[in-house]
Amino acid sequence: MVTSDSDRFVFVALPGQSEYVIAGRYRVSVEPGGAPLGEFVYGRTYLGRPDAVELDPAELKLTERVMKTHSGDGLFGAIRDSKATSWGRPLNLEGEVSNGNEPVNQLRFERPGAVVIGRGHEAPGPTRRMLAIDELGRLQTALDAEREWRNACRETHDSGARDSSVRIAAKVTVEHERTLWVAKFGQEHSLWNQARVRHATLQLARECGVDVAPTRVRRAAGRDLLLVQRPDREWAGDGYACSRMIRGLTLLGTEDTPEERRHWSYLSLADEVRRTSSRPLADLHELFRRICFNAAITNLNDDLLRPTMVAKGRSWRLAQATGPVPTLPVEGAGGDFAMICGPQGRSPSRENIVGGAGRFLLERPAAEAIFDGVSATVRASWYTVMRQSGVSEEDCELVARSIVHRADDR
């Protein structure tokens, strides 16, 4: 691939390292028919390193050849997943909210994974100054003010800012005790206390045997905020060592479009996890347990947009669960998963989920035992776990509509 002005250098932090090295070159061009073409090639120097690792296990395996893609506007999955908007979005405020060192919306460690794109040869250095957890209150206040401003614009002009108030970046990375956390900001008029319910749901998932990320609830500016520990960062003495991480979209080689969403499937995801994971049996059983938990709590919004695989060393494993939350049943609306989960499609019924157990390397009796065990634990423990996690009685009544609705529907 001949170098051109449109080339970008792709950097990667090698396992256990906080420093970045050049992995290869990437460019996007437009073909005569107007279709975008993405091209990537690993550098010879990088390929010659004994510690070289692939950027992702699906599209960008280690090879000397030039790899090409027409999907995603010419973006390879690993490069798309490295964008700040894919996970842990930065605050995108109109006003400049400074942390004393640089604007909040320019902090590089909002990016997920271990891949960074740059124009020049100079690799980005490790970031040592991070947002402190004590700064969350000021950020929540600034975010609320920005939402009010955008709502006022929408009411005045009815254009431009339409619906943006609910989409303003709701996540930011903060540091506490040499650990990085994604702080998920709540909204003032949410149906329930999102931070408390999400935190409690993850505790409930843990009781069901699901591998979940550590979480905390932090009070800031009169609001509860959920903190989720980042699985891709670990303090290494002079900075945070970065782990490669990809989403389900990349693992399946698909897109987030209405057409592609119709084909999203846990079964296909299981096939790719089986091929990619260094411990496929354990990860497939874990994935199946998560599906059973989603069914038990009526979590209908699970998708391929969250981190799915993480490589803390050279090999890939299923990432910890971070996002299960009950979905309130709506009269007249479908109660199906967002993804195919069995031979009968998206139905989160016991028969359908257990019917696809073979793709998870499970015999039917073992699959039935997992499904029934998870369901029983949810029914017996959900209320206690919610209350112990600080969920109000009023919010528990809403959660009950999801739990009881699903139990009665089986």
What tokens were used for 320? 């910890």
Reported as a single tens digit per residue, the pLDDT across 62-104 is 999 999 999 878 999 999 998 755 444 444 433 333 333 333 3
Mean per-residue pLDDT, 46-72: 95
- Is the separation of the CB atoms in 18 and 30 below 8 Å? no
Query: Does residue 349 form part of some domain?
Result: yes
Q: For position 210, what pLDDT does the model report?
A: 98
pLDDT over threshold 90, residue 133: no
What tokens were used for 229? 């520990």
Residue 149: other Cβ atoms inside 10 A: 16
Query: Does residue 39 form part of some domain?
Result: yes
User: Greater confidence, 169 or 105?
Assistant: 169
What tokens were used for 298? 């009526």
- Is the separation of the CB atoms in 186 and 224 below 8 Å? yes
Pairwise CA distance, residues 163 & 9, whole Å: 36
Query: Does residue 223 form part of some domain?
Result: no
Query: Does residue 172 form part of some domain?
Result: no
Mean pLDDT taken over the chain: 85
Name the least confident of 101-105, 149-153, 195-199, 323-327. Answer: 101-105
User: Greater confidence, 288 or 116?
Assistant: 288
Reported as a single tens digit per residue, the pLDDT across 167-193 is 444 688 899 989 999 998 877 678 899
- Is the separation of the CB atoms in 130 and 29 below 8 Å? no
This prediction's pTM = 0.88
Mean per-residue pLDDT, 202-219: 97
Count of domains forming the chain: 2
- Give the domain-ending residue among 72, 102, 118: 118
Query: Does residue 159 form part of some domain?
Result: no
42 pairs with which residues across the strands? Answer: 24
Structural domain boundaries, residue 362: 244-409
pLDDT over threshold 80, residue 391: yes
Query: Does residue 386 form part of some domain?
Result: yes
Query: Does residue 185 form part of some domain?
Result: no
Query: Does residue 168 form part of some domain?
Result: no
What tokens were used for 317? 């494993």
Mean per-residue pLDDT, 271-277: 98
Mean per-residue pLDDT, 39-68: 97
Nearest of 71, 19, 8 to residue 41 by alpha carbon: 8
- Is the separation of the CB atoms in 107 and 96 below 8 Å? no
Nearest of 179, 184, 169 to residue 218 by alpha carbon: 184
Q: For position 105, what pLDDT does the model report?
A: 37
- Give the domain-ending residue among 66, 97, 118: 118
Share of residues in the chain with pLDDT > 90 (%): 62
Contacts of 404 (CB under 8 A, 6+ apart): none
179-184, strands of its sheet edge to edge = 171-176, 179-184, 223-229, 215-220
